[in-house]
Amino acid sequence: MTAGRSKEDILFAPITEKGQTKKTVYLPEGEWILTKDRQTYGPGYHEINARIDEFIAFVRSGADVLGCF
């Protein structure tokens, strides 16, 4: 991945409702890394736990931007 493609390498899934603790996220083709714990996920739907004060962000595996999280 090149630095110029960072828009395609990051996926945010915000918690938007008070009391919400889970978010179902669809990840496109490829391997994705959840920034908060560095766990890897493949394509498809995944249920991710998060508190209201956390954000859910995935970075495509191999993307330079992972170092920013």
Q: Where are the domains of the chain?
A: 3-63
Residue (of 56, 57, 44, 45) closest to 10 by Cα position? 57
pLDDT for the residue 68: 82
pLDDT of residue 5: 42
Per-residue pLDDT, 48: 96
Please give the CATH superfamily to which domain 3-63 belongs.
Golgi alpha-mannosidase II (2.60.40.1180)
At residue 30, the pLDDT reads: 94
Q: Return the higher-pLDDT residue of 15 and 9.
A: 9
Q: Which residue has the higher pLDDT, 30 or 52?
A: 30
What does the pLDDT look like over 14-46, one tens digit per residue?
A: 888 888 899 999 999 999 999 999 999 999 999
Closest CA to 35 of 7, 65, 5: 65
